[in-house]
Structure 1
């Protein structure tokens, strides 16, 4: 009779598990306890003890079941990381407040659309975070390839049906509108985490497949003028590939290849070359190619430490899409560099916290998920802020949580929900 059929051992282990509130960890706890007890029983049997004596001695050596159960309950607490949630709530609510200030204090697009929709999307996102927190993220891993293929097919179908205008392609469901390139970016990243978990990079066929996982999404996003999102995807792909065991020289090949492609792209589209160079001297053509850079330059150089408050500013109101790509310029103008420093500090704390909690996740798939999602966040935060400071070329990337954008804001919050789901199960190895 094996130890798993021993009623005395099963009773002992069930008693321990009764003190562990996180029920999803029970199976792993039982397996670990059975293995440990089996080792002690085998050791006692080799010493010449009978099966009954070996079992009694093993349970005695294990210790008091109640004490062990309470210790395991602490170790396997399925609780969220309240600091990450608090930082997320602060950023989301700051974004909603910014939309309110833009509309009612600066007379920017004077209607209720920005504020009301920001409030609505933040409420829906909050519900999404709660639902995803209780969702078992590990169930996604075995469907990762199908999710990737399904997203590619959906993207293609929507592209031909939607007939994108001016490079934009949106899915409209009632009063809600979702940008396909934003949704696809996050879906591709989540699917890559599952595909690359336990990926064998030594096989040549897998290298060929990896090339497909890289270039197919890029081609799709280029078709809807999502060059900025292509850059985010490339960086995230490299991060996930390296963390899953890809050799560093392959990452260098990818970077070199994309640099060459980017140079050819700039050569064959001269206006992009001019746009790329213009950020070096934003005042060289303030009524032409450097118009946006000139406006941001004047805002950042005249706002001072505490900003202009809610007084009108000609340069500020001339910024198109101020509620999305240029919301950081609005922060600098209104609250000055002191307000900008506060926002940047919160963003850095948010990034640091997620990187910190990822170290406690035992499951390799969970760690890859967090790595992929935080990479997307970091690239968006950094590129947007630097762009608003004229330290990076103008790209169509919004500031996560703070910028207006239904699909972007919602999917950012859902991403935090996925991260919280991983953290809730951080003590589980699979």
Structure 2
């Protein structure tokens, strides 16, 4: 009779597990305890003890089941990271509040669409975070390739039958609109995390496949999303590849190989060159290509520590899309550098906290998921804020959680839900 079939040992292990409230960890706990007990039993058998004596001695050496169970309950406590959730709630509610101020205090739009939809999507996102927290993220890993292929096929199908207008590629469900442009980046990143987990980079064929995983989404996204989101995907791809133990020289080769086509794509469209020139010399054409740069320059240099408040809106009314790409400029204009510093501090805390909790995740797939999602967040946060401070060319990237985005805001919150699901199961290695 093997150790696994020993009723006395199974009773002992079941007693320990009864004190561990997170049932998702029971399987791994049982395997670990069986392994320890088996080692002790083998050691006792070598000393000449009978099977019954070896088993009794092993249980005795393991210790009191109740005490072990309570210790394991603490170690495997499936609780959310309340700090990350609190920071997310603060950012989301700040975004809803900003939409209220932009719409009602600044008479930005005649309808209630902006604020009401922000409130609606934030409520849906909150429910999504809760549901994903209880969902076992590990179930996604085995479907990673299917998710990748499915997203590619959906992209192609919707592109040909959806008639994208102004970079929009969406599906309307009643009053809701699901923007494929917004969610595709995150879906590709989630699928890559599963594909690259336990990926053998030493095989040449796998390197060729990885190049396909890089270029296929880039080709699909570039027509609708432009270079900006392609750049975010490229950076995230490199991060995930390096995190999955790809050799650094391979990363350098991939980066070098992509420089020429990236430059070609950039200079092939005159408006991109004009954006770069206006970024470098905004006052050379203040009413033309440099208009946005000049407006943001005026905002950052006239707002002061406390800003202009809600009564002074003349400058802001000349800034289009302030509910999305330029919401940070609205923050600086209205609340000054003090308000901007508070927002930046919360964002830095949010990023640091997620990077911090990833250190406690034992599962390699979970760590890759967090690395991919936080990379997307970091690039968007940094590029948007620097753009609003005239330190980066104007790109079509919204500020996560704070900008109005509908589908984009929703997918940002769902990404936090995935991260919380990973953290809840941080003690599980498989």
With normalisation by structure 2, the TM-score equals 0.99
Structure 2 unaligned residues grouped into runs of 5+: none
Which residues of 2 match residues 173-188 of structure 1 at below 5 A? 173-188=173-188
What secondary structure sits across from 2:250 in the alignment?
Answer: helix
Q: In the aligned structure 2, how far is the partner of 1:165 from the partner of 1:220? A: 16
Mark the CA change 1:32 to 1:222 in structure 2 (over 3 Å): closer, same or farther.
same
Work out whether residues 282 and 297 of structure 1, in 8 Å CA contact, stay in contact via their aligned partners in 2. no
Q: CA deviation at 1:55?
A: 0.8
What secondary structure sits across from 2:90 in the alignment?
Answer: helix
Which residue does 1:217 correspond to in 2? Answer: 217
Q: CA deviation at 1:164?
A: 1.2
| Runs of 4+ that moved beyond 3 A | none
Q: CA deviation at 1:109?
A: 1.4
Q: CA deviation at 1:262?
A: 2.1
What secondary structure sits across from 2:283 in the alignment?
Answer: coil
Which residues of 2 match residues 2-151 of structure 1 at below 5 A? 2-151=2-151
Work out whether residues 324 and 404 of structure 1, in 8 Å CA contact, stay in contact via their aligned partners in 2. yes
Q: CA deviation at 1:173?
A: 1.4
What secondary structure sits across from 1:177 in the alignment?
Answer: strand
Which residue does 1:387 correspond to in 2? Answer: 387
Which residue does 2:419 correspond to in 1? Answer: 419
Q: CA deviation at 1:284?
A: 1.9
Which residues of 2 match residues 173-252 of structure 1 at below 5 A? 173-252=173-252
CA RMSD between the two structures: 0.9
- CA deviations on 1:394-422 (whole Å, 9 max, x unpaired) are 00000000000101100000000000000
Q: In the aligned structure 2, how far is the partner of 1:105 from the partner of 1:193? A: 43
> Which moved further from structure 2: 314-323 or 266-275?
266-275
- CA deviations on 1:43-74 (whole Å, 9 max, x unpaired) are 01101111111111111110000000000000
Which residue does 1:322 correspond to in 2? Answer: 322
Q: In the aligned structure 2, how far is the partner of 1:266 from the partner of 1:428? A: 45
What secondary structure sits across from 2:178 in the alignment?
Answer: strand
Q: In the aligned structure 2, how far is the partner of 1:316 from the partner of 1:286? A: 16
Q: In the aligned structure 2, how far is the partner of 1:112 from the partner of 1:167? A: 24
Which residues of 2 match residues 289-368 of structure 1 at below 5 A? 289-368=289-368
Structure 1 unaligned residues grouped into runs of 5+: none
Work out whether residues 163 and 169 of structure 1, in 8 Å CA contact, stay in contact via their aligned partners in 2. yes
Work out whether residues 182 and 229 of structure 1, in 8 Å CA contact, stay in contact via their aligned partners in 2. no
Q: In the aligned structure 2, how far is the partner of 1:372 from the partner of 1:277? A: 32
Work out whether residues 282 and 390 of structure 1, in 8 Å CA contact, stay in contact via their aligned partners in 2. no
Q: In the aligned structure 1, how far is the partner of 2:322 from the partner of 2:11? A: 64
Matched, 1:402 2:410: no
Work out whether residues 133 and 421 of structure 1, in 8 Å CA contact, stay in contact via their aligned partners in 2. yes
Matched, 1:429 2:416: no
With normalisation by structure 1, the TM-score equals 0.99
Q: In the aligned structure 2, how far is the partner of 1:191 from the partner of 1:271? A: 33
Matched, 1:279 2:274: no
- CA deviations on 1:319-349 (whole Å, 9 max, x unpaired) are 1111000000000000000000000000000
